[in-house]
Amino acid sequence: MIHRTVIMILLLLLCNFLSAQPGPLEVTPVQRIKLFEKNASIIDKLLDGSLKLAKSTNEPLQASDSYRQTLLELEDQIKKAAGHGDRSRVRELSGCLNNLMNRGFLPALGKARKRVSLGHPDEKQLFELRDVADWITNDLEKNIRDSMLASTDEATDIYQSLQSYRQTLKEKMTPGVEQQPHH
């Protein structure tokens, strides 16, 4: 009798506990605060970049430059998360990096390469941005390989993405036939 009552009470407590939990997509205000603390620096750079981007969507070189600070900040945060062995954060941030690289930075850089003729003064900025992307891919790979996550699924995904960035960068930065030497 007693253990039946105890089990009933436990079941009621469980129901009450589960009903009070947020759904899988809900984030509680307390969690929002924690997430904000962690991601404020990235969002800050993203907003800066977005405002620059809003002024330069038709200027690919400036558009690709608007990603510079955000990508560097993201890379730094991924390294830190990998250093702490925080797999879920590494997965989340590398997803953001992937999106911004593949859909924002690299396409804009490719367009910029097509617009900037060989030897044009803007080429210096173009090469600078290419070097930033190179540095990010190499530094991130080195840090992930040295981290405790080196042989995890997250790390494997990152290595593949980095390899893909290198390939895309190589293709997009190779001058095409339309690039004429600047005089």
> How far from chain centre, in Å, is Cα 69?
11
Residues of this chain that interact with other proteins (CB under 8 A) are 3-4, 6-7, 10, 13-14, 17, 21, 27-40, 42-44, 46-47, 49-51, 53-55, 57-58, 63, 70, 88, 92, 96, 99-100, 103-104, 107-108
Instruction: Extract the tokens encoding 2.
Output: 């007693």
Q: Where are the alpha helices (DSSP H) in the chain?
A: 2-19, 29-54, 60-65, 68-83, 87-100, 106-115, 122-146, 153-173
Of 110 and 175, the one with the shorter C-beta distance to other proteins is 110
Of 63 and 116, the one with the shorter C-beta distance to other proteins is 63
Of 1 and 177, the one with the shorter C-beta distance to other proteins is 1
Tell me how far, at minimum, the Cβ of 93 lies from other proteins, in Å. Answer: 8
Tell me how far, at minimum, the Cβ of 44 lies from other proteins, in Å. Answer: 8
Tell me how far, at minimum, the Cβ of 36 lies from other proteins, in Å. Answer: 5
Tell me how far, at minimum, the Cβ of 34 lies from other proteins, in Å. Answer: 6
Largest CA distance in the chain: 96
Of 13 and 118, the one with the shorter C-beta distance to other proteins is 13
Instruction: Round to whole Å and give the CA distance between 131 and 39.
Output: 26
Instruction: Extract the tokens encoding 48.
Output: 């800066």
Instruction: Round to whole Å and give the CA distance between 75 and 77.
Output: 5
